[in-house]
Amino acid sequence: MVIAIRTDLKMTKGKMAVQASHAAVIAVEEAKRAKLKWVKSWFSEGQKKVVVQILSKEQLELVYQKARSSNLPCSFINDAGLTELPAGTATAVAIGPAPNDKLDKITSNLKLL
């Protein structure tokens, strides 16, 4: 699984952790419906997660669209607006669980957080 977090929003570390968690949980739930074999493999291998930086809403949307068009389980997170950000602010995307080669086609050019 790769989780992409917007760094241009200057979220606190705690807020980034929460947004990443939302993204991961929703992506796993989607994968359980569509790619159960991948989820089982992911669990048996230790639930690898890699967190990368995204520099803008546009870049976040592009990564999400590439994942969708590649038929990968994914999630797109918009904040509820209860703490640091206005409601509806796009914050994170999670892709996977999926095979590494499929994830790398979309995210290998992104820097680690």
pLDDT digits (tens, 9 = 90+) for 7-26: 999 999 999 999 999 999 99
The predicted-structure confidence for 35-56, as pLDDT tens digits, reads as follows: 999 999 999 999 999 999 999 9
Q: What is the pTM of this model?
A: 0.95
What pLDDT is recorded for position 97? 98
CB contact at 8 A, 75 and 30: yes
Structure tokens at 85: 């950000």
Class of the domain covering 2-107: alpha beta
pLDDT of residue 36: 95
CB contact set of 1 (below 8 Å; sequence gap of 6+): 24, 27, 28, 42, 47, 48, 49, 50, 94, 95, 96, 97, 98, 103
Confidence at residue 50, expressed as pLDDT on a 0 to 100 scale? 98
